[in-house]
Each structure stands twice: as C-alpha cells, then as structure tokens.
Homo-oligomer: A and B are copies of this chain.
C-alpha cells in the first residue's frame, strides 16, 4: 500500500490507533509520549503525526484537537501492526462449556452462539445459519394438518430443521403420506437440497413413464415442498451494546444503527460476503460493501461441518473496535460451531 512506513512512524501510528480504540478521544502528541515511553518529545511526535496525516492515515477533527485514525489508518493497523492476542482462557472455557448447548435444537444453538459472541466481545453478535439449499438432505416428514393442508418438515444432515405449509391439490391420507415419506427418505438422502430439486425435476419430466402412481405423487409433493427459497436465518444478539459506543450517542445515529440491525436482509447481504472465504475476514468501515452501516466494522468467519453446510458468524462494532480482542473470539467461535455441526452428523 504505497509508501512504506519507517519503524518510528509505525510505532506511533500503532500507539495512536490503540489509544483511540481505548479512549474514543482524539489523541494528542503529549498524551502519546506520556503513555508509551518512546524516547521522544511531543514536538517530534507532532512532526511524525503531521506526516502520517499527510499520508492519509490520520485526520484531525479540528485544529486544536488531537488526531484520530482514518479508515486507511485502521486498515494499515490491522494488516501490519496488529498482534492478535490469544483468547483469554476464561472465554475459551466459557465457550467450550458444552453443557450450554446440550439438548438444544440447532436454532437454539445458533441463538446461544450469538449471545456468547456479543457477551464476550461486548459488541453485537451475528450468526447466519447455513443456507438451507446448500445443506445435505437427511429426512423429510409430512404431517396432515387439515383437509388439503400439509406441514412439511425437512431435516438436514447437520441437524437443521425447517418446516413449511403447502396445499397440494389432493387430500392425502396419513397412510398415503407414510408411504410417500418412506419412498422419499430412501431415495433422497445424501444430496444437497439443490441437487434434490434438480433430480426431482429430471425424474418428473424424463422418467415419467417408469414411475408408478405413488412415486409420481411423492415426487410431485416434494417438488412443491421444496419450491420457493427458504429464507436465510440470522440471529442477532446484543444490539444494545452498539448504543453504548460513544460514536453512536446521537439519537440520529442510534436510530440509524438500530434500524440496520433490525433488517435481517441487510445483515444477510453483509454476511454473505464472507460465506465463500476461509478464516476470519475483516471489513473496516466502508469496506463492508453494501455499507448501510457507516462507522462500523465487521469481523466475520465462516463455519461448516465436514458435510459442507456453510454458515457465517461474526461481530459487528464501531470502526474503533478492539480488533486484537475480537478477532480471536470470532476465530475460536467459528471453529467451535464447526465442531458442533460435525458432532451432530
């Protein structure tokens, strides 16, 4: 990224970013020399700071205040200066405490994970469950609700459960449904939902003749059941932590941020980016693509069982976020959830 910085400049930039992360106040030359025992006078630091400002790493809110990092400043800090700390053992053990997840459904686990993320990081935790279409089909069940109305329940290999209501033209008896269920559950497991859909389409159109009535009904029913995308599930926890941040004290910004965190769709878009990646990803400020969320950074990581169901989790907070603390939290949590997913299957 452009001009390389010499050691002294790096140290000072690091000090400024870290001080600002802690205090949320513009940091001045004197403050730096005091807190970090560089053997430099404030005047020297001032000169360096002026350089850093010229290079675009810092900015002064006004003449007589200290300086704060720009987005570029944070980026440089995260890429080159940041020392990722180990996850404190207290958190580690709190996360590894399996009893927390015992007897819980997958949804409840996701929700709990969200709360853990937000509780430990003291920012807002996000968990996006694996997109159902990419999960591996395990089992389907039909429940007859009333004349012509059926409840369909899918279970994925990773233990995720989804259900919807359909109204096929025909009113199946419980007996018929059992046969259909049986047929489908012997034929479909092992494929992803998307694959299942394709397979059904093929069989219905090209192999019509070879099927008996029951088989045809079964396929038609599951075709209908799988139609329409199943909405992504996002779990958000600790939104109020956002309001605790000094950068969001103004009522306006509070409303703005809360509205964004309320819109599941925006969060899905946000998390979708990290879906494909591997490992922890960091989006600083406007880097977070569809930047509805000004002034925020996102630290996200995908998780997945070995059967391939891929979800994303992360922490969202102000740009002035404690990166060195949050990154290991997200990292560890993602691998934790991956382990849980594996265990289920």
Chain A residues close to B by CB (< 8 Å): 102-106, 108, 138-139, 141, 143, 145-146, 149, 151, 153, 155, 159, 161-166, 228, 231, 237-240, 243-244, 249-251, 254-255, 258-259, 262, 343-345
Can you give 18 A-B contacts (C-beta < 8 A)?
A: A102-B165, A103-B166, A104-B164, A105-B151, A105-B165, A138-B143, A143-B155, A145-B345, A146-B343, A146-B345, A151-B155, A161-B163, A237-B262, A239-B262, A240-B258, A243-B251, A250-B251, A251-B251
Known: A105-B164, A106-B163, A251-B251. 14 other contacts (CB 8 A): A103-B164, A103-B166, A103-B228, A145-B344, A146-B343, A149-B344, A153-B153, A240-B255, A240-B258, A240-B262, A243-B251, A243-B255, A251-B254, A254-B254
Q: Give the number of copies in the complex.
A: 2
CA gap between A166 and B105 in the complex, in Å:
9
CA gap between A73 and B231 in the complex, in Å:
46
Chain B: which residue is nearest A155 at the CB level?
B143
CA gap between A165 and B153 in the complex, in Å:
16
CA gap between A164 and B141 in the complex, in Å:
16
Chain B: which residue is nearest A249 at the CB level?
B251
Q: Check A103–B165 contact: CB distance below 8 A.
A: yes
Q: Check B108–A231 contact: CB distance below 8 A.
A: yes
